[in-house]
Chain A
Amino acid sequence: MEFQLPDFDLRVMMPEIFLFLWALVVITFDLSTKRRSGAAVAYLAMFGLVITGILLAVAGTGAGFGAMFFNDAASIFFKVIFLGAAFMAIGSSFGLLRQKIQHHRGEFFGLILLSTVGMMFLASSNELLSLYIGLELTTIPLFVCAAFFKDNRLSVEAGIKYLIIGAFSSALLLYGLSLLYGLSGTTDLLQMRINIATTHLNFREIGMLPMISVIMLVAGLGFKLALPPFHQWAPDVYEGSPTPIAAFLSVGSKAAGLIAFAKIMINGLQVFYDQVMAPSDWGILVAVIASAAMIWGNVAAIRQANIKRMLAYSSIAQAGYIMIGMVALNELGMAAVSFYMFTYLFANMGAFAVVAIFEDTTGSTQISSYNGLAKTSPFHAASMSVFLLSLAGIPPLAGFFAKYYVFASAIKMAGAADDKSWLYWLVGVGLLTSVFALYYYANIIKTMYFTTDESPYRLSVASPGSAMVLIGLIGVLLFGLYPTPILEFAAGIPEALGVVVP
């Protein structure tokens, strides 16, 4: 028997390979300067991300490694989000370099880059094996990053909690994947779709297995996305870990979880979406989880006194809104999810950038210490308000279009099929909880503005962190007023994921 290497195409993998090597370069650079690299190492990492972005544009679409590695509209879109999240996370960690991270600067940024490589692999994988590897490469560096302040009790505690939860959820996911492999006889997602479609009647004989598999997958991915009832880790980890890492977790890691969810559940298991497959259909299951996320996330966020915890609960709620688009499985649904994630990148990273600057200047993450900030730091207070209002979905900011698009996809699906009218309820929950959300977002604006006191703190405008705030601000305003190019690009994503419109 003659062994033949599968057709591999390095061109489509160029960005990942480059970024992986660049991560090593960053670590080596820090070592070679005898750990005195200072801010240069951060600039080096950001430069690498920019180059990767350019390479991504050059590489274009295509398949490599015998269809194990795909570059399509969906993966490119999400890769841009990952790169943006990493860029803004690194950009807002300059304050840490001055005080908290005196040593191991190279590892800090190198691990962020490695995690980004993992996310990018994940977005391109079309197959269970590489998907699992990508997911692990995403999370393992982040365990270390979360616990990076190894003398800080909170940070280490956050790290260990994230580690246990992350490992546990990976195990759940892997068990689900292994069952799925057995049921379909393949690890390739497209082949799986075909196999399941042709032989899915046989599953009935296997009995409980498809149901267990779907539940395990939803639970495993639910942990990654911090959806209730698997969300308790998120506030703790966000509060304890370094703020830029919390930001990266909330955007990058969430986007990675979403694309993994979309790959497995939509590309592979769309058959299981329908109620024909009850009780193993995942549509209703995810809808229930999403509404729980919206209700619990928004209600719990109201009573938080720590801004990082508040943002954690708000991100749980935002994940709920995103999942509305995911369950509305039509030609708008995944496009809405992607667009939502894109606007979330700017709004949430921007908000975290302000929190990071504030924490570096004052050492506090309490909401009450933002009192009267508008008087001393008008730029940061105004930007924070814009980000929060965008998260709340107030037009004409980008977050409004995202929410609008998600609701539109659900209403369209609900109107198209009679057995999907429960989507109206989901939209109803989404709307009602949006009002709660506005309450706690407005509460922070109130703290900053509606007081006669003057804040004792003054945040500096001329810093890399403030540049990140500015990027976020431009993104939120620009894509609010003119979202057309992003919408048009996102419109191709459902097709790339093989969504079949009923």
Chain B
Amino acid sequence: MDWLTPLIFAPLVGAIILAFVPSKQTETIKGVALIIAIITFILSLFVYAQFDKLGAGMQLTVNVPWITSLGIHYHLGIDGISLLLIVLTTVLTILAILSSWRSITEGVKGFFVSMLILTSGMIGVFCALDLFLFYIFWEVMLIPMYFLIGIWGGPRRVYAAIKFVLFTMFGSLLMLVAILYLYFQYHSFAGVYTFDMLKLMQMPIAINPQHWLFVAFALAFAIKVPLWPFHTWLPDAHVQAPTAGSVILAGVLLKMGTYGFIRIAMPMFPDATATFVPYIAILSVIAIIYGALVSMVQKDIKSLVAFSSVSHMGFVMLGLFALNQEAVQGAVIQMINHGISTGALFLLVGMIYERRHTRLIAEFGGLGKVMPVFSAFFMIVMLSSIGLPFTNGFVGEFLILLGAFKANVWYGVFAATGVILAACYMLWMYQRVVFGKVTNPENEKLTDINWRERIILIPLVVLIFFIGIYPTPLFERTEPAVRQVIAHIEQTRQAKQDLERIDERTLALREGAGLSQKVTEKGVTR
């Protein structure tokens, strides 16, 4: 039975239903949107239950021809990595919708329609196994996000929205050309037109074009991650976006970049991956340290969280490009963790922003006295973001560092300083916001978070501790997938090296034969 199609299109159908609800009935709109998000979540749980955790390769696949004349298929399938990201997406969507309950007052209908279309696009990206389909879902997300930032964002929203769209569009156009090149290359290799990722992966590509293709894909994904120095859109977009937008942006959209690396760029171009490992690793290390240092000097809590994302995503990239089982698995877990903890941080920032309409650290102080429950939640989430043992952050970062040390000691050493710096900026910020006396009289009247806000935060806190203490279910599901990716890269490179060695040997033999022939010829002429 096809479980993925309903999962992808449930939010889209919901968006269409929502479009017919009169825009005056805001409560109905919110209710319908929430119900649809919950249905999507339940569907994702079904998918989770259907998923065979021992099985390697793609599961729950669907493969139907779509545009036959171009060889485009509607090909879906998931492995452990995509499974976890899908569940993360559906969870965060519910929370994002709940968090917008009071903060969105203008254009309610448009907001929730955009949110639901966005969800469809995100789930689609994680399910697509056809490059063309992948590209379409990838681009579909762009427009709702543009509207979310541009209509419901902060004061500099227009600038942030256009910057976000142009950066992403630039990257994805490069990807489009690379996809087309692959498509024709495969035709000359196998005589069939296809965009099927699994088939394209089997194709050997000469080293030089492989480098170009890798660069094209890597740029598209690196902009999305965002890897230093392509991160400049991120602080603008994150800070200006409404809370729900920031949560989805940080929680899911950034993961698409790293997901693209592990699903497409790395397995499809193994030799190029090996070539670019040092460059990307260095960029990741720079991102880790740069992100942390810049976070430290931020005056606005939201931009602090935004820059900390740059640092955290640097960890994920470093893990992926350490290319060993521990690091890659750590990176995958860290993708989920970052979604949970940064999503929660943005939600918390949104909650105090709703009350005070400012996010400047200097405006706060002593919140622990007036908002004790809030401060407790804030503490847990912050510690998870730092990576304290028994929280989810620890599991991922530890594995990444372990793998990084294995790959190259220096990467590990520099990345580890990032962990320390993270503790510095987070704790310092927490101290300035929560501890001390209430200095600003406006803070005295603040009310603590209500039941709705607690309901939003509780699932995330539960996940933080659950993954921190018992990460086995995640490991079980991602392990075969990660093993397969690494094995594929190793095998392809091995096969190629063997082939080259054989070539060299035959060449040498031929040369040897040629020499002997010359000798005999000389002998004859003599």
A and B in contact, CB less than 8 Å:
yes
CB atoms of A484 and B176 under 8 A apart: no
A443–B177 Cα distance when bound, in Å, is 26
Least distance between A375 CB and chain B CB atoms (Å)? 8
B142 to chain A: which residues have CB within 8 Å? 394
Residues of A within 8 A of B106 (CB): 452
| B183:A408 contact, CB within 8 angstroms | yes
Min CB gap A401→B, angstroms = 8
* Closest chain A CB from B160 CB (angstroms): 11
Whether, in the assembled complex, A20 has its beta carbon less than 8 Å from a beta carbon of chain B, the answer is no
Is B184's beta carbon under 8 Å from chain A? yes
Which positions 172-230 of chain B face chain A at CB distance < 8 Å? 173-174, 176-177, 180-181, 183-185, 188
A483 vs B67: C-alpha distance when bound (angstroms)? 7
Return A383 CB to nearest CB of chain B, in Å: 13
Identify A487's interface contact among B70, B157, B183, B185, CB under 8 A.
B70
A395 touches B147 (CB 8 A): no
Given contacts A395-B136, A396-B136, A446-B162, contact A435 B67 (CB under 8 A): no
Chain A residue numbers with a CB within 8 Å of B170 are 435
Decide if B150 touches A449 in the complex (CB within 8 Å). yes
Q: Given the known A-B contacts A431-B173, A487-B67, A488-B69, are A449 and B181 also in contact in the complex, defined by CB atoms under 8 Å?
A: no
Contacts of B161 in A (CB 8 A): 442, 446, 450
- Distance A473 CA – B191 CA, assembled complex (angstroms): 37
Point out the residues of chain A lying under 8 angstroms from B183, CB to CB. 408
Instruction: Give the contacts of A426-451 with B (CB-CB under 8 A).
Output: 427-428, 431, 434-435, 438-439, 442-443, 445-446, 449-450
Q: B139 to A434, Cβ gap below 8 A?
A: no
Indicate whether A407 reaches chain B with its CB closer than 8 angstroms: yes
Confirm or deny: A499 has a beta carbon within 8 angstroms of a beta carbon on chain B.
Answer: no
Contact indicator B139/A415 (Cβ below 8 Å): no
- Please provide the chain B residues from 120 to 152 with a CB less than 8 Å away from any CB of chain A in the complex: 135-136, 139-140, 142-143, 146-147, 150-151
* Bound CA span A264–B142, Å: 41
Chain A interface size band reads 20 to 34
B166 at interface by CB-CB < 8 Å:
yes
Chain B CB within 8 A of A412 CB: yes
Binding site of A, secondary structure by majority: helix, strand, loop or mixed? helix
Instruction: Please report which residues of chain A, range 392-429, place their CB below 8 angstroms from some CB of chain B when the two chains form the complex.
Output: 394-396, 400, 404, 407-408, 411-412, 415, 427-428
Size category, B interface: 20 to 34
Q: A412 touching B139 by the CB < 8 A rule? A: no
Given contacts A411-B180, A434-B173, A438-B169, contact A394 B139 (CB under 8 A): yes
Q: Does B68 contact A (CB under 8 A)?
A: yes
Separation of A124 and B195 alpha carbons in the complex (Å): 37
B69 touches A491 (CB 8 A): yes
Contact check, B158 vs A411: say whether CB atoms are below 8 A apart.
Answer: no
Residues on the B chain within 8 Å of A26, using CB: none
Chain B residues whose C-beta falls within 8 Å of the C-beta of A83 in the assembled complex: none
**Chain A residue nearest in CB terms to B149:** A450
Tell me if A334 is interfacial: C-beta within 8 Å of chain B.
no
Contact check, B158 vs A400: say whether CB atoms are below 8 A apart.
no
Are A395 and B140 closer than 8 Å at their CB atoms? Answer: yes
Q: How far, in whole Å, are A193 and B77 apart by their CA atoms in the complex?
A: 51
On chain A, the residues within 8 Å of B166 by CB distance are 435, 438-439
**Partner among B68, B70, B150, B177 whose Cβ is within 8 Å of the Cβ of A411:** B177
Q: Taking the complex as formed, is B379 at the interface, i.e. its CB lies under 8 A from any CB of chain A?
A: no
Judge if A389 is at the interface, Cβ distance under 8 Å.
Answer: yes
Interface of B is mostly: helix
Residues of A within 8 A of B423 (CB): none
B residues less than 8 Å from A408 (CB atoms): 180, 183-184
- Contacting residue for B143 out of A389, A431, A450, CB 8 A: A389
Q: A407-B176, A411-B177, A411-B184 are in contact. Are A450 and B151 (CB under 8 A)?
A: yes
Residues of B within 8 A of A395 (CB): 135-136, 139-140
Which residues of chain B come closer than 8 Å to A445, judged between CB atoms? Answer: 146
- Closest residue of chain B to A409, judged by CB? B180
**Closest Cβ of chain B: how far from A93's Cβ, in Å?**
30
Taking the nearest CB of chain A, how far is it from the CB of B165, in angstroms?
6
Contact A446 B158 (CB under 8 A): yes
Instruction: Tell me the bound Cα distance from A266 to B176 in angstroms.
Output: 28
Given contacts A442-B165, A488-B69, whether A450 and B158 have CB atoms under 8 Å apart is yes
The residue in B67, B142, B151, B173 that gathers the most chain A C-beta atoms within 10 A of its C-beta is: B173
A449 touching B147 by the CB < 8 A rule?
yes
A435 to B172, CA, bound (A): 10
Q: Name which residue of chain B comes closest to A480, CB basis.
A: B136
Q: Are B177 and A427 in contact (CB under 8 A)?
A: yes
B474 to chain A, nearest CB (A): 32
Cβ of A438: which chain B residues have Cβ within 8 Å of it?
165-166, 169
A434: chain B residues within 8 A (beta carbon): 169, 173
Q: Which residues of the other chain, B, contact A404 by a CB distance below 8 angstroms?
A: 176, 180
A484 with B174, Cβ < 8 A, contacts A407-B180, A435-B166, A446-B161 known: no
Within 8 A of B (CB), among A457-502: 482-484, 487-488, 491
Q: Are A484 and B68 in contact (CB under 8 A)?
A: yes
Contacts of A491 in B (CB 8 A): 69
Q: What distance in Å separates the Cβ of B108 from its nearest Cβ neighbour in chain A?
A: 13
- Nearest A residue to B157 by beta-carbon distance? A450
The distance in angstroms between the C-alpha atoms of A375 and B142, with both chains bound, is: 22
Residues of chain A lying within 8 A (CB to CB) of residue B69: 484, 487-488, 491
Q: From residue A324, how far is it (CB to closest CB) to chain B in Å?
A: 12
How far apart are the CA atoms of A428 and B181 in the complex, in Å? 13
- Report the separation of the CA atoms of residues A465 and B489 in the bound assembly, to the nearest whole angstrom: 57
Residue of A nearest to B147 (CB): A449
Instruction: Return chain B residues, CB-CB under 8 Å to A427.
Output: 177
B100 to chain A, nearest CB (A): 18
Which residues from A are CB-within-8-Å of B139?
A: 394-395, 400
The residues of A that contact B146 with a CB separation of less than 8 Å are 442, 445
A435 touches B157 (CB 8 A): no
A429 shortest CB reach to chain B, Å: 12
A488–B135 Cα gap in the complex (Å)?
22
CA distance in complex: A445, B161 (Å): 11
Asked whether A435 and B169 contact (CB < 8 A) given A415-B181, A487-B67, the answer is: yes
List the B residue with the shortest CB-CB distance to A427: B177
- A residues less than 8 Å from B188 (CB atoms): 415
With both chains docked as a complex, state the minimum distance between the C-beta of B18 and any C-beta of chain A, in angstroms.
13
CB <8 Å contact, B185 and A431: no
Measured between C-beta atoms, what is the minimum distance from A172 to chain B in Å? 36
CA distance A428 to B139 in the complex (A): 19
A483 to B69, CA, bound (A): 10
Query: Contacts A438-B166, A446-B162, A487-B70 hold; do A431 and B177 have CB atoms under 8 A apart?
Result: yes
A488 to B68, CA, bound (A): 9
Query: In the complex, what residues of A have CB within 8 A of residue B150's CB?
Result: 446, 449-450
- Provide the bound-state CA to CA distance between A45 and B162, in Å: 43
The answer to whether residues A431 and B147 also contact, given A394-B142, A415-B185, A483-B67 and a CB cut-off of 8 A, is no
Cα(A404)–Cα(B70), bound, Å = 11
Q: Which of B276-295 contact A (CB under 8 A)?
A: none
A141 CA to B357 CA, complexed, in Å: 62
Q: Smallest CB-CB separation from B167: which chain A residue?
A: A435
Chain B nearest Cβ from A5, distance in angstroms: 42
A residues apposed to B, CB below 8 Å: 375, 389, 394-396, 400, 404, 407-408, 411-412, 415, 427-428, 431, 434-435, 438-439, 442-443, 445-446, 449-450, 452, 482-484, 487-488, 491
- Listed in ascending order, the chain B residues whose CB lies under 8 Å from chain A are 67-70, 106-107, 135-136, 139-140, 142-143, 146-147, 150-151, 157-158, 161-162, 165-166, 169-170, 173-174, 176-177, 180-181, 183-185, 188
The 5 tightest CB contacts between A and B, nearest first, are: A395-B136, A450-B150, A431-B173, A395-B139, A411-B180
Q: Could you list 19 further interchain pairs (A-B, Cβ under 8 angstroms) beyond the known A438-B165, A446-B150?
A: A395-B135, A400-B139, A404-B176, A411-B177, A411-B180, A412-B184, A427-B177, A431-B176, A431-B177, A435-B170, A438-B166, A442-B162, A446-B158, A446-B162, A450-B151, A450-B158, A483-B67, A484-B68, A484-B69
A/B interface sample: 12 pairs, CB < 8 A: A394-B142, A395-B140, A400-B136, A411-B180, A431-B173, A442-B161, A442-B162, A450-B157, A452-B106, A484-B67, A484-B69, A487-B69
